[in-house]
Chain A
Amino acid sequence: MAAMSFVRWWWGLLLAFALVALVRVFLPLPFANEIIIFSIYTMGCNYLLGRIGLISFGQPAYLAVGAYAAAFYLFYFGNNPYVGILIGIAAGFLVSLAIGPLFVRLRGDYFALVNLALSVIIFYLMQKVLAGITHGDNGLWFLTNLASTPVLDLSRPDQFFIFGFLVAFVIWAFFKYLDDSIFGACCLATKLNEDKVKFLGYSSFNIRLTAFVIANTTTALAGAMYAVYLGFVSPEITSPARAADPVVVTILGGVGTLYGPLVGSIVYTGMKDVLSKVFGNWELVIGFVLVFIMLAGEKGIWGSLQPLLEKMVLRVTGKTAERGGSGQ
């Protein structure tokens, strides 16, 4: 019985990551790595949007916090990429903990825009104000600084993929666990009816804040991984032009679905790869696909596929539908 529930809990996750491993076989390594990092990036955004109902157009801000924190360490102080990533995570945690209490008070549109404002502020800080440290638009280069590390050498792209793959898996398992936790139920409850959450005696503010910190620390982790993978960070990472990327990919994959970010990242990055070879305006196609997805019921790719897949699985296994499971 315990074994059965163990299998039920893990099989989707294992299957998803078996598919990601295939990505490594069929796509060039840089794209595989980009997909992995992008999916971690999107996971944070997906949690905010899908679980607690906060839409943010400023996720690049937190990406930049993680990336620059790792970059400062790797450029000025040390050369161990693992330490760089840990510093990126710590920076993301501290910044979102400091900013969160101000931001999560805001509702809807204002939350979306205040984050956008933050990413603009960080963009100009890194490009102009702190140019003495950040080297402005030229960015910080430290690829050759990176030390070769034992076990998995992060300075080599093929080994970085394995590392990224493992990190993404852990993050996914973590978010899947969160969905099962009481906190996860509190988040969904807060998204739907914040007043009722308060009148049950919970602090909806603390729930929003915790979700904010978890999501943006994840985003900062993705930023630090970008920094290590590229060996380079420039203000471009928090460019206002890229502000909507994670939201776009989240919607593309399916808001609030566990595998949406993964599917969205593969499709988005894959489209970029395939389409950009055919013609330059690949973003035009993404635009049309998004409009189509919205009009087709806002479920995204995974959100639309999931019921079909479930039906197929049920037909194969011949089991009756298990009612009441929260949508994954």
Chain B
Amino acid sequence: MTDTRAEIIRAKGITKRFGALVAVDNVDYLLRENEVAGIIGSNGAGKTTFFNLLTGFFPPDQGTIRYKDEDITFMKPQQRVARGLMRTFQLTATFDNLSVIDNLVLAFFRAYRKSSMLQLLLNTCKGQRNDPKIVESLETFDLQDIRDRIVKHLSLGEKRRLEIAMAVLTEPKVLLLDEPLAGLSESEIKSVLGVLRQRIGRQTILIVEHKISHVEDFLERLTVMHEGRIIADGGYEETLRDPEVRRSYWQIDTSGEQDRTVVA
């Protein structure tokens, strides 16, 4: 069955080297509108490097990345954000020296107030804190009770929720999540996934994960990376049954049958 949804991101022949190491090796990748896709792979498989290339953290050595009809290969992160690509970080990136609400204010102001330097100087954080969008975001992500707390005093799960809240608040076209579940407890994972589930169908979501057991009923498509290459790409179940995936990612002896949940 071919997918008729419009293409939103297309990466072609992407290669990134760090010295002698080829971190991402000639990767082709396609994301469609409102798709919920995942990339998995073991440590060092090149997932995060590939993710960083998509979001403009650094440019690729070869290949092109297109967003809709535009070449964004060498575009700065700010310009990609302006087009609707929003990412989170593997090591949670919130502003620990600001309050929860002011973290949201910063995300909100850039997205909705087209902020010139003059606007940044002329507006106070206080003046934005009660905007309906921010209030709604606090409710959705269950952050009301800690809204005035300085972020450095939050738990990892709360910070992760805040970071995703900041990304979602800007209503991006593509939401790129780098290991959003890493280091979280079971209940925290549930609450983060619950929030993400609400976003399905409203934007394209790409999740890079190390553990896939948590996202299996969530992803419609799964891509597996191994040593810088994509070794399988397709529907969730179909990808996991792929012998190549079983051999290199799960390290299962494909001649015998084993339950994948043992290693998951």
Contacts and interface: CB of A to CB of B under 8 A. Distances in A.
B77 A182 contact: no
A324 B107 CA distance: 18
A150 B98 CA distance: 46
B263 interface: no
Contacts of A323: 148-149
Nearest to A189: B95
Given A188-B98, A202-B115, A181 B121 contact: yes
A182 B109 contact: yes
Contact of B123 (A182, A193, A201): A182
B106 A200 contact: yes
A2 to B, nearest CB: 13
B105 interface: yes
B120 A181 contact: yes
Report the contact-size class of chain B (Cβ under 8 Å from the partner).
35 or more
Contacts of A198: 76-78
B22 interface: no
Contacts of A203: 78
Most buried by B among A184, A185, A193: A185
Interface in B61-114: 76-78, 81-82, 86-87, 89, 93-99, 101-102, 105-107, 109-111
A195 B95 CA distance: 11
B107 A200 contact: yes
A192 B95 contact: yes
B150 interface: yes
A76 interface: no
Most buried by B among A186, A191, A200, A323: A200
Interface string B125-169: 110100000000000000000011110000000000000001000
Contacts of A201: 77-78, 81-82, 110-111, 170
Contacts of A196: 89, 93-95
A199 B86 CA distance: 7
A281 interface: no
Nearest to B78: A201
Given A198-B78, A200-B166, A324-B150, A180 B124 contact: yes
A207 B166 CA distance: 20
7 contacts: A180-B125, A185-B98, A185-B105, A186-B106, A198-B78, A201-B81, A326-B99
Interface of B: 55, 57, 76-78, 81-82, 86-87, 89, 93-99, 101-102, 105-107, 109-111, 115, 117, 119-126, 128, 147-150, 166, 170
Given A196-B95, A199-B77, A202-B106, 19 more contacts: A178-B121, A182-B119, A182-B121, A183-B120, A184-B125, A185-B95, A185-B125, A189-B98, A189-B106, A193-B95, A198-B76, A198-B78, A199-B87, A199-B89, A201-B110, A202-B115, A324-B148, A324-B149, A324-B150
